[in-house]
C-alpha cells in the first residue's frame, strides 16, 4: 500500500511539472502586452512602478528558465508564491485564507449531490420503468441542461420579488458563526450539488441495474434476505465503485462551478479571488490559484484511486 | 402494377442517411425531437437578421423595462431593448461560437487522437502525459486564465475553447483508433505497403467517424454552455453583444428585481438548446455505437 502511494506520488511529478510549465508559459506568452495592460489599467501600479521596475518586479528581465526556476523553487522550498501586484500581500497568505471557503462549498455541494443522486438512482434501478423511475430520470436529464448560473440568478431574483427575501451578502466565516456560515453556504451548495447530481444519478442507476442481475444478488434473495439488506449490503457496495471514480472526475466541475457560485452569492473563496485577480491582471495571484487548483484536483483523484481499496476487496495495490 | 412497385423499389434503395433518420425517429423519438430543436436553433441563428423584429442593440428609452406583451413577447430591458430580438441574435452568436469552437475542438481531437492512437509508443506516451497535465485543470479556470492573457472577444473564445476541449477530447478518438488499428484491413493495407498518412486517412478515419460525429454534437452543447458561463462572468464576448450568458449579468442584473422577465428568457433559451443538444447527442451515440446501447 505504502509502495503504491509512493509510486503514485512519484508519477504525479512529471504531470505536476508539465502543469506548472503550462501555467508559467501561458501567463508569459504575451509579456509585452501584459506590462502595457498593467500600466494602462492599474493606475496604482502605474504610479508606483516605472515600466522597467514593473518588468523587474515580474522578473521578466531574466531568461525564461531562470524565471521558472526561481518561481518553482520559491514554491517548493518555502511555499512562496510571490506577492500580489495589487495589494502587495503574499499570494500564499491569500490562498490560505480562500482555500478553506471553496473547500467547504465544494464539500457541501458534493454531499448534496450524493444524497440526491444515490437514493434516487438506486430507487430508479430497483423500480425500473415505473413512474418513479421516469420522474427521477427526467429530473436528472433536466438538471444537466439548466446552467447553474441561471439557477443561481433566479434564486437571487424571485424570492426577493415574491417574499422580499434575499441571501445575506456579508460573508461570515465558519469560525465566527458556524450556523450563519452554513445557512449562507447551503443555497449555493444545493444549486451546485443538484447540477452535479444528474450524471451521478444516471451512473448509479446504470450500475445498479447491472449489479442487480448478478448471481450473488440472486443468492442473497434466495437466502431470504430483506430487500433492504440485499440492496444496501450486496448491491450498492458493488455498484458504487464506478460512482466513486466519477466523483473524482467531477472534482474539476465542482471547482469550476464554485467560481460561478462564489460570484453570484459573493462568497470570498478561490473563485472570487481568481476573478478579482483576472480583472486586475494580478498575475502572481492568477498563477498561484491556477497551480493550487491543479494540485487539489490531482490529489482528489489520487484519494479516489486509494478509496477503491476500502470499497472493493478485490482491489489490491501493488 | 408499376405504380405499386415503384415506391417499394425506391424505399429499398433509400439513401443510408435517409434510413438512419428513419431509425432515429423510430428508436429515439426524444433524441429526434432534440435534433429538430437543434436544427431550429441553427435556423434561427443563421437567419437572425430576418427573424428579429428589432435590432439587437436598438435602444428605445420610452419602452424601458416593459413586461412581456404582444409588441415585446419577452419584454424589454433597462435600455428598452427588445429581449426577444436579443435572444435571437444571441442564438446567432451561440451558433457561430458553438460550431466554430466545436469544429476546431473536434479537428484537434481527431488529429491528436488518430496520430497518437495509431503510432503508439513514445509519441503516444508523451502526448498522453501532456493531456493528463492539461486535464487536471478545471476547464472554466483555464478559460478564465486564458482570457486574462488574450483578452475577451469572440475569436479568442473560439480558439481557447477549441484548443482546450480539443486536447481533452483527443482521448475519446484515441481509444477508438486503438481498437480500429488491430483490424485485418489495416494490417492488409500495411502489408501491401500503403503509406502511414494513407492508412490514417483512408482506413482509420472513416472507421472512427461515428465517435467523431458524436463528439462534435456533444461539444456544441458544451461550448455554448461554457461560453455563456464566461460571458456571465464578464469574460466572454464583451457587451453590448447579446450573448445569452451576458444578458443574465452585467448592467441588467440590478434591474432584474424590477423586471424578473430579464432573468427568464436568456436562461430558458440556453436550457432548451443544451437539453436538445444533449438528447440529440445521446441518441446519435446509441444508434452509432451498439455497445453503448442500454447504458442509458
Q: Which residue has the cell 422580499?
A: A164
Distance, in Å, from the CA atom of B91 to the CA atom of A69, rounded to the nearest integer, reads: 47
Question: Nearest chain A Cα to B132, which residue?
Answer: A15
Contact B138 A293 (CB under 8 A): yes
When pLDDT is cut at 50, 70 and 90, the band that residue B21 belongs to is confident
Choose among B139, B235, B270: nearest Cβ to A147. Answer: B270
Res B295: pLDDT: 39
In the predicted model, what is the mean pLDDT of chain B?
Answer: 82
SS (H, E, C) chain A: CHHHHHHHHHHHHHHHHHHHHHHHHHHHCCHHHHHHHHHHHCHHHHHHCCHHHHHHHCCCCCCHHHHHHHHHHHHHHHCCCCECCCCCCEHHHHHHHHHHHHHHHHHHHHHHHHHHHHHHHHHHHHCCCCHHHHHHHHHHHHHHHCCHHHHHHHHHHHHHHHHCCCCCCCCCCCCCCHHHHHHHHHHHHHHHHHHHHHHHHHHHHHHHHHHCCCHHHHHHHHCCCCHHHHHHHHHHHHHHHHHHHHHHHHHHHHHHHHHHHHHHHCCCCHHHHHHHHHHHCCHHHHHHHHHHHHHHHHHHHHHHHHHHHHHCCCCCCC
What pLDDT sits at residue B97? 92
Q: Do A157 and B263 touch (CB under 8 A)?
A: yes
The stretch B128-143 carries a mean pLDDT of 79
Q: Three cell numbers at A66?
A: 531562470
Give the Cα separation of B72 and B67 in Å (integer).
8
CA distance B96 to chain A (A): 20
Number of inter-chain CB pairs under 8 A, A vs B: 134
Measured CA to CA, the distance from residue B228 to residue B221 in angstroms comes to 11
| Residue of A38, A157, A207, A303 to mutate, testing the B interface (most B Cβ within 10 Å of its Cβ) | A157
Report whether A210 contacts A202 (CB < 8 A). no
Question: Can you tell me whether residue B268 is helix, strand or coil?
Answer: helix
Residue contact B139–A27, C-beta within 8 A: no
Which residue's entry shows cell 506548472? Answer: A20
Q: Give B122's contacts in chain A (Cβ within 8 Å).
A: none
Interchain contact B126–A (C-beta under 8 A): no
B194 inside 8 A of chain A by CB: no
Whether chain B has a CB inside 8 Å of the CB on A15: the answer is yes
The answer to whether residues B173 and B112 touch, using CB atoms and an 8 Å cutoff, is yes
- Identify all chain A residues contacting B225, using CB atoms and an 8 Å cutoff: 147
Instruction: Give which of A232, A143, A52, A252 is closest to B135, Cα–Cα.
Output: A252
H/E stretch holding B99: helix B83-119
* Shortest CA distance from A31: residue in chain B: B149
pLDDT digits (tens, 9 = 90+) for B243-261: 888 888 876 677 777 778 8
Rounded to the nearest angstrom, the minimum Cα separation between A137 and chain B is 10
Angle at B48 between CA B42 and CA B52, to 5 degrees: 135
Give the per-residue SS3 of B65-88: CCCCCCCCCCCECCCCCEHHHHHH
CB-CB neighbors (< 8 A) of B267 in chain A: 146-147, 150, 153-154
Mean per-residue pLDDT, B218-226: 89
Residues 199-228 of B with CB under 8 A from A: 225, 228
pLDDT at B293: 43
pLDDT, tens digit (0-9, with 9 covering 90-100), for A83-93: 776 677 888 88
DSSP-based helix, strand, coil % in chain B, nearest 5: 75, 0, 25
Q: Is A306 exposed, middle or buried (0-12, 13-18, 19+ CB in 10 A)?
A: middle
Give the chain A residue whose CA is nearest to the CA of B137: A294
Cell of A9: 506520488
Q: Which of B33, B65, B148, B247 to mutate against chain A (most A CBs within 10 Å)?
A: B148
The closest of B122, B17, B16, B145 to A275, measured between CA atoms, is: B145
| Per-residue confidence band for B266, with pLDDT thresholds at 50, 70 and 90 | confident
Confidence of residue B22 (pLDDT cuts 50, 70, 90): confident
Contact B233 A256 (CB under 8 A): no
State the best of B31, B87, B130, B138 to mutate against chain A, taking most chain A CBs within 10 Å.
Answer: B138
Average pLDDT over residues B277-282: 84
Along the 318 residues of chain A, how does pLDDT read in single tens digits? 777 778 777 877 777 777 788 777 776 665 555 566 666 665 554 555 667 776 776 666 777 777 778 778 877 777 777 777 667 788 888 888 888 899 899 999 999 999 988 888 888 888 877 888 888 877 877 887 888 888 888 888 888 778 877 777 777 777 777 777 888 888 899 999 988 888 888 888 888 888 888 888 888 888 888 888 888 888 888 888 878 878 877 888 888 889 999 988 888 989 999 888 887 777 778 888 888 888 888 888 788 877 777 776 666 665
In this predicted structure, what is the pLDDT of residue A226?
85
**DSSP designation for B200:** I
B192 CB contacts (<8 Å, ≥6 apart)?
none
Q: Are A105 and A189 in contact (CB under 8 A)?
A: yes
Please give the Cα distance from A123 to B81 (Å, whole number). 47
> Does B139 reach chain A within 8 Å, measured CB to CB?
yes
Q: How far is A200 from chain B (nearest CA, A)?
A: 13
Output DSSP code: residue B238: P
Read off φ and ψ for residue B76, nearest 5 degrees: -125, 160
Higher confidence at residue B61 or residue A131? Answer: A131
Per-residue pLDDT at B292: 46
Chain B positions in Cβ-Cβ contact with residue A18 (cut-off 8 Å): 129-130, 132-133
Query: In this predicted structure, what is the pLDDT of residue A313?
Result: 64
Instruction: Say if residue A131 is exposed, middle or buried (CB neighbours under 10 Å; 0-12, 13-18, 19+).
Output: exposed
Contact assignment for B271 to A158 by CB distance below 8 Å: no
Find chain A residues with C-beta within 8 A of B139's C-beta: 252, 256
Amino acid at each position: 500500500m505504502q509502495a503504491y502511494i509512493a509510486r503514485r506520488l512519484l508519477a504525479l511529478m512529471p504531470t505536476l511539472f508539465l502543469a506548472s510549465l503550462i501555467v508559467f508559459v501561458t501567463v508569459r506568452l504575451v509579456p509585452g502586452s501584459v506590462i502595457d495592460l498593467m500600466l494602462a489599467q492599474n493606475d496604482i501600479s502605474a504610479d508606483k512602478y516605472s515600466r522597467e521596475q514593473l518588468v523587474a518586479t515580474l522578473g521578466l528581465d531574466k531568461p525564461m528558465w531562470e524565471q521558472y526556476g526561481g518561481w518553482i523553487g520559491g514554491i517548493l522550498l518555502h511555499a512562496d508564491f510571490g506577492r500580489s501586484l495589487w495589494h502587495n500581500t503574499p499570494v500564499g497568505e491569500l490562498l490560505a485564507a480562500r482555500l478553506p471557503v471553496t473547500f467547504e462549498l465544494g464539500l457541501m455541494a458534493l454531499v448534496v449531490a450524493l444524497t440526491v443522486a444515490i437514493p434516487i438512482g438506486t430507487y430508479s434501478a430497483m423500480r425500473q420503468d415505473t413512474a418513479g423511475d421516469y420522474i427521477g430520470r427526467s429530473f436528472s436529464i433536466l438538471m444537466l441542461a439548466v446552467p447553474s448560473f441561471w439557477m443561481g440568478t433566479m434564486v437571487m431574483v424571485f424570492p426577493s420579488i415574491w417574499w422580499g427575501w434575499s441571501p445575506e451578502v456579508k460573508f461570515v466565516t465558519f469560525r465566527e458563526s458556524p450556523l450563519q456560515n452554513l445557512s449562507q453556504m447551503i443555497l449555493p451548495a444545493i444549486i451546485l450539488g443538484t447540477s452535479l447530481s444528474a450524471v451521478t444519478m444516471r451512473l448509479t442507476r446504470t450500475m445498479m441495474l447491472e449489479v442487480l442481475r448478478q448471481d450473488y444478488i440472486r443468492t442473497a434473495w434466495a437466502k431470504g434476505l430483506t430487500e433492504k439488506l440485499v440492496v444496501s449490503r450486496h448491491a450498492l457496495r458493488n455498484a458504487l465503485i464506478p460512482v466513486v471514480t466519477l466523483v473524482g472526475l467531477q472534482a474539476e466541475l465542482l471547482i469550476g462551478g464554485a467560481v460561478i457560485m462564489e460570484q453570484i452569492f459573493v462568497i470570498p473563496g478561490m473563485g472570487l479571488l481568481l476573478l478579482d485577480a483576472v480583472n486586475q491582471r494580478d498575475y502572481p495571484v492568477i498563477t498561484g490559484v491556477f497551480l493550487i487548483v491543479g494540485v487539489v484536483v490531482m490529489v482528489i483523484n489520487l484519494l479516489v484511486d486509494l478509496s477503491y481499496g476500502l470499497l472493493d476487496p478485490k482491489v489490491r495495490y501493488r | 402494377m408499376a405504380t405499386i412497385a415503384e415506391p417499394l423499389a425506391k424505399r429499398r434503395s433509400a439513401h443510408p442517411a435517409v434510413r438512419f433518420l428513419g431509425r432515429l425517429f423510430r428508436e429515439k423519438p426524444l433524441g429526434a425531437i432534440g435534433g429538430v430543436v437543434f436544427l431550429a436553433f441553427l435556423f434561427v441563428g443563421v437567419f437572425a437578421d430576418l427573424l428579429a423584429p428589432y435590432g439587437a442593440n436598438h435602444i428605445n428609452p420610452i419602452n424601458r423595462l416593459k413586461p412581456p406583451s404582444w409588441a415585446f413577447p419577452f419584454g424589454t430591458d433597462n435600455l428598452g431593448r427588445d429581449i426577444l430580438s436579443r435572444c435571437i441574435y444571441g442564438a446567432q452568436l451561440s451558433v457561430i461560437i458553438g460550431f466554430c469552437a466545436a469544429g476546431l475542438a473536434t479537428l484537434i481531437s481527431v488529429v491528436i487522437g488518430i496520430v497518437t492512437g495509431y503510432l503508439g509508443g513514445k509519441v503516444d506516451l508523451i502526448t498522453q502525459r501532456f493531456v493528463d497535465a492539461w486535464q487536471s485543470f478545471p476547464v472554466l479556470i483555464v478559460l478564465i486564465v486564458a482570457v486574462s492573457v488574450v483578452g475577451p472577444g469572440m475569436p479568442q473564445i473560439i480558439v481557447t475553447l477549441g484548443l482546450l476541449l480539443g486536447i481533452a477530447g483527443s482521448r475519446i478518438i484515441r481509444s477508438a483508433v486503438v481498437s480500429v488499428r488491430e483490424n485485418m484491413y489495416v494490417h492488409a493495407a500495411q502489408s501491401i505497403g500503403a503509406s502511414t498518412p494513407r492508412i490514417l486517412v483512408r482506413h482509420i478515419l472513416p472507421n472512427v467517424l461515428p465517435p467523431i460525429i458524436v463528439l462534435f454534437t456533444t461539444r456544441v452543447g458544451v461550448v455554448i454552455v461554457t461560453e455563456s458561463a464566461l460571458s456571465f462572468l464578464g469574460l466572454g464576448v464583451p457587451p453590448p453583444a447579446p450573448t445569452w450568458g451576458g444578458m443574465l449579468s452585467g448592467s441588467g442584473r440590478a434591474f432584474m428585481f424590477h423586471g424578473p422577465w430579464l432573468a427568464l428568457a436568456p436562461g430558458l433559451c440556453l436550457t432548451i438548446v443544451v437539453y436538445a443538444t444533449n438528447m440529440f447527442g445521446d441518441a446519435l451515440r446509441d444508434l452509432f455505437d451498439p455497445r453503448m446501447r442500454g447504458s442509458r
